[in-house]
A = this chain, B = another copy of it.
Amino acid sequence: MNFKECFPIWDKLTPEQQNKISKAIVYRHIEKGTMLYNGLDCTGLLLIKTGQLRAYILSDEGREITLYRLLDGDICLFSASCIMNSLQFTINIVSEKNSEVWVIPPDVYKNLMENSAAVANYTNELMASRFSEVMWLIEQIMWKSLDKRLAAFLVEETSLENTTSLKITHEIIANHLGSAREVVTRMLRYFQNEGIVKLTRGTVEILDLQKLKQLSI
């Protein structure tokens, strides 16, 4: 897969625009755990060839909550927040797996967007997708109990990691869910008593995925 096969509106660009973007993009290999964006530098758009990125927010006290994940083929728009004046919030982007990405410099993309309705409308759709994910999160936080959210998170992790033996600490789970470690530990122990998971140091083993899925609804 090369850039033009991954960039959905390649065919809607003029040859000149295609040429401009081809020259500007930078291919990067990113190690797991790299901070890609923290609201300060305008990194540019990230088109993920393979890998996994996590977008999250951080409180003044250092608490976290995951907003959404970006996977193969996804485009990270908010790492180029400087291209839009009205984006008045700070998110953080970190790689959760070794990833291969193309970086589109913000000034190049901004110029494309200003001159091409196709690119501007595509950007709209990108933002609308992220907006939908964040709205889903608000509904989860507001109306769903933590046991259901924890169950849904473990089901998602099992799918993303392709294993039922998750190498993850209670603290990291708490950071995903915007909760406290103690609360997550208590809930995981309850799941263990119910025979749904088995807890060992640094590992959550899923024993009954079916029950976990039922619980998450």
A131: chain B residues within 8 A (beta carbon): 87, 89, 127, 130-131, 134
Q: Are A138 and B141 in touch, CB under 8 angstroms?
A: yes
Specify the main secondary structure of chain A where it touches its partner. Answer: helix
Contact with B along A110-150 (1 / 0, CB 8 A): 00011111011101111111111011111101110000000
Partner of A120, one of B59, B117, B141: B117
Given A59-B143, A142-B59, A143-B63, verify A124-B120 contact (CB < 8 Å): yes
**Chain A interface residue bracket vs B:** 35 or more
Partner of A89, one of B60, B136, B178: B136
Asked whether any CB of chain B lies closer than 8 Å to the CB of A217, the reply is no
Q: Are B134 and A138 in touch, CB under 8 angstroms?
A: yes
A86: chain B residues within 8 A (beta carbon): 125-126, 128-129, 132
The 10 sampled A-B contact pairs (Cβ below 8 Å) are A85-B125, A85-B128, A86-B125, A86-B129, A88-B129, A113-B117, A115-B117, A120-B121, A120-B123, A124-B124
